[in-house]
Amino acid sequence: MVLKEGATRSRGTVVQRGNITAAKIIAELIKSSLGPRGMDKMLVDSLGDITITNDGYEILDEADIEHPAAKIMVEVAKTQDEVAGDGTTTAVVLAGALLKRAEELLDKKIHPSAIVTGYRKASDESIRVLKMIAQEIDVDDKDVLQKVAETAMHGKATDSAKTLFSEIAIKAVKLVAEEKDGTLLVDKDDIQLVKSVGRGLLDSYLVQGLIIDKEIVHPDMPKYLEDAKIAVIDTALEIEKPEFDARIRLRDPIQIRAFLDEEERLLSEMVNKITGTGANVVMCQRGIDDLAQHYLMKNGILSVRRIKMSDVERLSKATGAKIVTNIDEMSSDDLGWAELVREEKIGEDTFIFIEGCKNPRAVSIMMRAGFERMLDEAERSMQDGIGVLVDVLKENKVVAGGGSIEVELAKQIRDFSTKISGREQLAVEAFAEALEEVPTVLSENAGLDPIDIMVELRAAHEKEGGTWFGINVLNGEVANMIDLEVLEPIIVKEQAIKSAVEAASMILRIDDMIASSKAPPAPEPPPGAEY
């Protein structure tokens, strides 16, 4: 007995087939959401909270997935989301298709390592072809950027707002992009998405600055302040209250009076320290005592308390404020600056806007929608739009979507397979077939006959100038997707292929699974037991 009691071990084909099946189920689960005609999923968690989404990663993240191989598929979606910001469904569908084809090869007694090697070669070749045929775009051409962003947002519940959302995303990304060694890099954290229920999607807008989901602590403080000198404080503007046993010793009213006077003195000193630096705005991560609020108000200082740490860091970065942890050592050098700080009630929520910050690389998007679940999906849509824009700024190359790129790659991979000998050749061919899963699913989801469409697509790609022929899902015709301006960043496709191949290879290599037993629940004492 090497394994712990209760651990189970399974090996060989049982494990391999079990894993493949689990992974295929995941791909099957989300494939109906692929493409502009894809459907949404409604997910209900154990607490009854509902999410309605079309986003591959979101679906898998919300679904409570247990099987270890299925979890690898969730990882694929996650990596895709982090690296490319879009293409999560595609990556998972592709991984599922690779495994489906691999299963057929396993049935023919082809060794998993031959399949893995074949897939690896086909993947390298696909990426080489991808880089060769991708089209360069001018990142200053707003129209092209608009098309790229709209393609990513097409077919979501928020479709009606995709033009506006794309415009907002382009502005946001352009404002925060920074040139490093000739490439435009964007730190997505510089773009803050703030959500407020009410109005409609088309009431969403961009703010050059920060938005904090808080209100001003005192009603008599200014609600609108230009030339804001901002103190960002990470300590409570309160006097630490004595412990209970210390308090009972203050029986004498004179002592109590003295104690209160002392408290008042300390708080007023604290506020004097702050006003002494020239600050007219206080942004505090902790609490602000009522009395301190009063003194701050008397000094005309706009103050906000209990700000989230992440917002405090954002504030510091945007306004140039140093985060103060000790009021006694505070000076004017610690203050940040913004053109304007103001409070505004939007829908049911009150927000603080910090606009025209010292560091212009701070933008926020106020997302609006009539109800909460739409708002959440709007946020994901916006993130996809931002994601693809960040991709094309980083590498200014696009390919056409609608299945065109996958059909073209499949064709070129089939040609390439003739150069590969032995059993690996079969795997390379299988890879080509797996790529065609994307146009197949796109046409299925659009209610078209995938067999007819594939025949037409292959024929179109054989012709001169047929490279970009894909499915116009709106009318079911095979058409040039560049002409239809369905454009996707090369990074999205490259990453989808890479992660799909990695996941499929990883799952194929496993032939042994050892699972330790879960800790048994502690036995309940029988009723009436004496303890």
- Report, as residue numbers or ranges, the catalytic residues: 55, 88-89, 384
d(CA 128, CA 110): 27
One symbol per residue from 414 to 453: x for binding Mg ion (CB under 5 A), - otherwise; what is it? ----------------------------------------
The residue range among 81-89, 96-104, 168-176, 366-374 that interacts with Mg ion, by the rule CB under 5 A, is 81-89
Nearer to Mg ion among residue 334 and residue 494 (C-beta) = 494
The residue range among 78-86, 158-166, 391-399, 426-434 that interacts with Mg ion, by the rule CB under 5 A, is 78-86
Closest chain position to ligand ADP (CB): 401
Q: Please, which residues bridge with residue 136 across strands?
A: 397
Nearer to ligand ADP among residue 37 and residue 121 (C-beta) = 37
**Angle, helix 88-107 to helix 437-445, in steps of 10 degrees:** 120
Nearer to ligand ADP among residue 166 and residue 417 (C-beta) = 166
The answer to whether 58 contacts Mg ion (rule: CB under 5 A) is no
Closest CB 119 distance from ligand ADP, rounded Å: 20
Nearer to ligand ADP among residue 112 and residue 387 (C-beta) = 387
401 binds, among ligand ADP, Mg ion, none (CB under 5 to 8 A by kind): ligand ADP
Positive or negative, the CA dihedral 319, 322, 324, 328 is negative
319 binds, among Mg ion, ligand ADP, none (CB under 5 to 8 A by kind): none
SS3 256: helix
Nearer to ligand ADP among residue 35 and residue 96 (C-beta) = 35
Tokens representing 108? 């023919």
d(CA 25, CA 78): 17
Task: Find, among 384, 407, 420, the residue nearest to 492 by Cα.
Answer: 384
Which residues have C-beta within 8 Å of that of residue 184, sequence separation ≥ 6? 139, 177, 178, 393, 394
β-pairing, 224-233 with 281-284?
A: parallel
Closest CB 99 distance from Mg ion, rounded Å: 22
Name the residues that contact ligand ADP, by CB under 6 A: 33-36, 38, 54, 56, 86-90, 151, 154, 401-402, 438, 442, 471-473, 486, 488
For residues 124 and 116, is the Cβ–Cβ distance under 8 A?
no
d(CA 146, CA 163): 8
The answer to whether 86 contacts Mg ion (rule: CB under 5 A) is yes
Site for Mg ion in 234-273 (CB under 5 A): none
Closest CB 416 distance from ligand ADP, rounded Å: 22
SS3 11: strand
Closest CB 53 distance from ligand ADP, rounded Å: 10
58 binds, among Mg ion, ligand ADP, none (CB under 5 to 8 A by kind): none
Tokens representing 72? 């690898």
d(CA 426, CA 429): 5
d(CA 241, CA 234): 18
d(CA 403, CA 436): 8
Nearer to ligand ADP among residue 351 and residue 468 (C-beta) = 468
Q: Which residues bind Mg ion (CB under 5 A)?
A: 86, 152
